[in-house]
Structure 1
């Protein structure tokens, strides 16, 4: 307990040092930089801005509230990491959930590690740190790999070395980005596993991908069953005797897909038989978007 109190006091002292205009640290070579860089500093939460390079786009409201409750009781156990962008101004590199949860309960300060980094280094740190997390969905990981390759100009071999993953693993994630956006949304929302996605990506035609995706959801197909469906798809009519061909979307449904999409501002999927039986799938990515769609449909 004595060590924790001493560290907290040191953090407050460093915070005061950073607010002194005569000690405006801009690089690792500046005076007093060694006292700040790599140490835990209590920073004003209002002096921190979110990272525009943050690869994570989904923040579960329930999980965020649980974290906020934990921080209210125990404090921020693991400091966030920031980079200095101006005098007494910082940008998040990692720890956005802790930052959001701390703001949620009205904390004035938050413990942080300070880094001196340019935009490219900040992007790379944020992407690599987030890739190592256990709670990212496969599409978020795939997008992070793609951004590292595009914006840091890494080859798959160099990316493999940088993140400590086999090249084949990276390739499998990147291939998921060939899936139709509706299917990617399904994966992000937990309706499909990565195994399902890896099987579906072997179907090039997007409309056929979606047809099988809807069958997976409707019949709760396992990954192995999905792989068999994909194999049958490529085998053609010769090896699909006794199998009912996938029903095409009838005209009455096709004619209204765009109307639903325009009204709700999300890409709606409709599947239906000629007899009129079917379903409408409306994706949403957050509680706020769910409420917006609910208001449009129910007027509440």
Structure 2
């Protein structure tokens, strides 16, 4: 306990040092830089801005509330990482969920590791650190790999060394970006797995990809069943026949909305539109109890 108290006191002392304009630290060669860079410092949340290079774009509200409850009870256990921009001004490198949850709780400060980096180094640190997270979806990982290759100008071989992944693993993730945007969204929302996506990416025609994707959703096909369906597609040269293909005539947005609503409400949902603009939403229910269940899901009550 004494050791923890001493560490927190040290953090508060460093916070005071960082607020001294006469000893502002802008590089690792500046006076007192060794006392700050790489150490845990309590920084004011208002002095930290969100990282524009953040590769993560989806933040689950329920998971964020759970993290906020944990922080309310136990505090921020793992410090965030920031880079120094200017006097008493910092930018997130990693830890945006902890940062957001701390704001939800109403904290004034957050424990932070301070780094000094330029924009390119900050982007690389943010991408590499986020790739190591276990809760990123496959598309987020693929987009992070793509950005490292295009914006940091890393080859797949150098990228493999940097992130500690086999080159073949990186290639498999990057291939997912060849999927239709609807299918990518389905993977991000958990409707299908990366295994399903790896099977579908072997189909070049987007419309045929969507036809098989819809069948996976409707029939709850496993990865192995999907691979067999793709094999049959290549043998026959056409996507599997469906009882109706009306959905495939709709816009990608309408089709994706139907699939998302059907899964969220756990019932059949149909959207009919005029020129894919104004329209009507229809859904089915089996009983009064089932209708009440759907109403609660829609209203959130």
> Any gaps of 5 or more consecutive residues in structure 2?
263-279, 282-294
Do residues 268 (structure 1) and 248 (structure 2) align? no
CA-to-aligned-CA distance 1:181-226 (integer Å, 9 cap, x gap): 0000000000101000000000000000000000000000000000
* Residue 79 of structure 2: aligned partner: 79
1:92-241 matched pairs, under 5 angstroms: 92-236=92-236
SS in 2 for 1:85: strand
Do 1:138 and 1:188's aligned partners in 2 also have CA atoms closer than 8 Å?
A: yes
* CA-CA distance at 1:20 after TM superposition: 0.5
Do residues 50 (structure 1) and 28 (structure 2) align? no
Do 2:203 and 2:230's aligned partners in 1 also have CA atoms closer than 8 Å?
A: yes
SS in 2 for 1:269: helix
Distance 1:193 1:152 in 2: 29
CA-to-aligned-CA distance 1:73-128 (integer Å, 9 cap, x gap): 11111110000001100000011110000000110000000000000000000000
> Any gaps of 5 or more consecutive residues in structure 1?
262-266, 271-278, 285-295
Distance 1:36 1:253 in 2: 58
Aligned length: 267
* Residue 249 of structure 1: aligned partner: 245
Distance 2:9 2:145 in 1: 39
Distance 2:176 2:103 in 1: 35
Aligned counterpart for 2:258 among listed residues 267, 271, 280: 280
CA-to-aligned-CA distance 1:245-279 (integer Å, 9 cap, x gap): 245634x983xx35xx7xxxxx1218xxxxxxxx9
Q: CA RMSD in A?
A: 2.4
* CA-CA distance at 1:283 after TM superposition: 6.9
* CA-CA distance at 1:282 after TM superposition: 4.6
* CA distance 1:283–1:150, change in 2 (3 Å): farther
* CA-CA distance at 1:236 after TM superposition: 1.2
Do 1:268 and 1:283's aligned partners in 2 also have CA atoms closer than 8 Å?
A: no
1:17-32 matched pairs, under 5 angstroms: 17-32=17-32
The structure 1 segments of at least 4 consecutive aligned residues displaced by more than 6 Å after TM superposition are 296-300
Do 1:268 and 1:282's aligned partners in 2 also have CA atoms closer than 8 Å?
A: no
Q: TM-score, normalised by structure 2?
A: 0.84
Distance 2:110 2:40 in 1: 10
* Residue 68 of structure 2: aligned partner: 68
Distance 1:234 1:170 in 2: 25
SS in 2 for 1:268: helix
Distance 1:129 1:280 in 2: 35
Q: TM-score, normalised by structure 1?
A: 0.84
Do 1:40 and 1:79's aligned partners in 2 also have CA atoms closer than 8 Å?
A: yes
* CA-CA distance at 1:244 after TM superposition: 6.3
* CA-CA distance at 1:152 after TM superposition: 0.2
* CA-CA distance at 1:23 after TM superposition: 1.1
